[in-house]
Amino acid sequence: MSDKKKSIFADKNIMIRALKDSFVKLDPRVQIKNPVMFMVYVSAILTLVLFVFALCGIKDAQPGFILAVSVILWLTVLFANFAEAIAEGRGKAQADTLRANRKDVTANKIPSPEKKDKILQVPSGNLVKGDIVYVRAGEQIPGDGEVIEGAASVDESAITGESAPVIRESGGDRSAVTGGTTVVSDWLVIRITSEPGESFLDKMIAMVEGAARKKTPNEIALQILLVALSIIFLLVTVALYSYSLFSAEQMERPNPTSVTALVALLICLAPTTIGALLSAIGIAGMSRLNQANVLAMSGRAIEAAGDVDILLLDKTGTITLGNRQADEFIPVDGNDKRELADAAQLASLADETPEGRSIVVLAKEEYGIRERNIGQMHAQFIPFTAKTRMSGVDYDGNEIRKGAADAIREYVVSRGGTFSSDCEDVVTTISTQGGTPLVVAKNGKVLGVIHLKDIVKHGVKEKFADLRKMGIKTIMITGDNPLTASAIAAEAGVDDFLAEATPEAKLSMIRDYQAHGHLVAMTGDGTNDAPALAQADVAVAMNTGTQAAKEAGNMVDLDSSPTKLIEIVKIGKQLLMTRGALTTFSIANDVAKYFAIIPALFVSLYPGLQALNIMNLHSAQSAIISAIIYNALIIVALIPLALKGVKYREVPASKMLSKNLLVYGLGGILVPFLAIKLIDVIIVALGIL
């Protein structure tokens, strides 16, 4: 993916493209997609026609005034186009990079996994769903698929931006591969799972480019509101013109209200600010997800993430580190703790599992016990097997074994030893606390127990507390027994847990919460997660997961980080907050415009309206020009906020609403008063009017 830290405004290519697109978007077929800005577009054309008529002697107002209004309205349209184009800019740049990585390579098509020697070389574009291909080291994977045989390192940097190769193998949850990635070592036999033009890379290009972005329900609802407001203001403007004609006739005076001035009033009163930025806000939200290496398959999913109030989180890799670590050596029957640590370390020297290495580290940290020279010990290491459920080492006539409690009990009893009640109590206590007990015995005698525990990730308890403040309930999903699950849930600070989770149990839980009006989000990577992912409102599939999981989800995390779900929820909430804040600001802006334009239009008919000119604007024309200049410039000023989003904090919704109303509601009232007055002063000082 492209550089995430570089500002979009600092990218010369994106800026040049956005400026060009601002003019390309003047096409009426593009403008009509945004009804509010289409009204500005039509008004700009109308004032331009009035200017031509004024030059021909048919005067609505002074030609210079009409031209000034027309130019400012055209700039307003261009600024709105630029906001949308700059929001699309990063996505288009990403799409260009992805297109460069998409090549039509030669694929080694084979009839079956057993017939790798019968290769038929075909263009990758000719592959269809169900074809089987053989990919060797150094070759590019020709299409999306499922590994059905082999294991290999795959370079996925073209998709994820990460340079480190990942392992892809048949079976399990790491069998999905993406077209355009490269096999670094070994070989794979892959069954193609997508039709031409429908690959993951094709979908990704369409999504990041914005071509496949559809307006979300909330966005559509807001646009309907904006259109309704615009229609109301249009009717008000027409009514004001009729009233102006009637008043002028009754007072036997010329009508002071020109069509140009009323057009300026209409554009100032219509919610043009949010109308101009609405599309940019939605595109920027999707772009922020792309920068987080998450591909959203629909805008609806991003919006739903902002309303989520239930999070289902896998324990392993999300809440815990994923590997049990040695936490404590507990001697039994009066044995020495150092002797237990030494025996446990010796039995783990050849154990390369994370658990085994953690035992060696703990012995070193607690007692300074160093690793022995395996070669000099002439030791015979006993590997762990599923049948014996223990491992160990034989050296110099000594036997050390470590393993599950019942396996060590059987081993000790077979050698004439005893498995004491003291040891039983320790084993039970560890299990109750959610840990895993490993019993250590030397020469048929139990020395003690190693307490292995799931290490809860640093900071997750605080994150869950923040989510709770936001009104989001967290639920841990695990295959552990209820006792273990309860202990880990308490330590991590989650609100609830689902132990001994099955696909049916996950699906049932999600449906139950949805039936009670909740919006549910979850992550998953396996085929057994697919039903629950398909049911969840926000379903984040891991890129390393199976094809079934990726197809069931409405988002794909390219980094395959289970904790990404929390970040996605924050981005979704930030999108909704940004849209709400700018809508509030846009509507609040109208108050100042009333005081700027209404007195300017009717003060000659009703001198008493001069009291409403609280900004003491110089003249009617300068008031109108100042108001529409502000109306155009505020769009440009708010583009960075629309793209970056309103700063998000983990606080209760009521507190967040109060703060935003204060900042964007009150600010939306005060800012235009100051800005319009400043513009009026500058216009007069420069002698423009």
Helix residue spans in 317-437 (DSSP H): 337-348, 354-367, 374-377, 405-414, 421-432
Q: Is 677 annotated as a binding residue?
A: no
Query: Which is the catalytic residue, given 314, 327, 480, 537?
Result: 314
The pLDDT score that the predictor gives to residue 634 is 94
Through-space distance between the first and last CA atoms of the chain, rounded to whole angstroms: 51
Q: Is 529 annotated as a binding residue?
A: yes
Q: What is the mean pLDDT of residues 76-96?
A: 84
Q: Which residues contact 100 (CB under 8 A, 6 or more apart)?
A: none
Whether the CB-CB separation of 51 and 111 falls below 8 Å is answered with no
The pLDDT score that the predictor gives to residue 447 is 93
Q: Is 402 annotated as a binding residue?
A: yes
The model's pTM is 0.69
The mean predicted confidence, pLDDT, of the chain is: 84
The pLDDT score that the predictor gives to residue 211 is 44
The pLDDT score that the predictor gives to residue 689 is 62
406 is catalytic: no
The pLDDT score that the predictor gives to residue 557 is 84
Q: Is 391 annotated as a binding residue?
A: yes
> pLDDT of 473-493, one tens digit each?
999 888 777 877 888 888 888
Q: Is 355 annotated as a binding residue?
A: yes
pLDDT of 1 above 50:
no
* Cα 668 to Cα 588: distance, rounded to the nearest angstrom: 5
Q: What is the mean pLDDT of residues 166-194?
A: 83
pLDDT of 369 above 60:
yes
pLDDT of 16 above 80:
yes
> pLDDT of 424-476, one tens digit each?
999 988 887 777 899 999 998 999 999 988 777 777 888 888 888 878 899 98
pLDDT of 411 above 50:
yes
Q: Is 104 annotated as a binding residue?
A: no
294-296 and 473-477 strand pairing = unpaired
Lowest mean pLDDT among 77-86, 179-188, 347-356, 581-590: 347-356
Q: Is 33 annotated as a binding residue?
A: no
Q: Is 384 annotated as a binding residue?
A: yes
Q: Is 351 annotated as a binding residue?
A: yes
Tell me, what DSSP letter sits at residue 370? P
Measured in whole angstroms, the distance separating CA 164 from the mean position of its chain's CA atoms is 23
pLDDT of 9 above 80:
no
Q: Which residues contact 119 (CB under 8 A, 6 or more apart)?
A: 108, 109, 110, 134
SS3 breakdown of the chain: % helix, strand, coil, rounded to 5?
A: 55, 15, 30
Q: Is 525 annotated as a binding residue?
A: yes
The pLDDT score that the predictor gives to residue 475 is 92
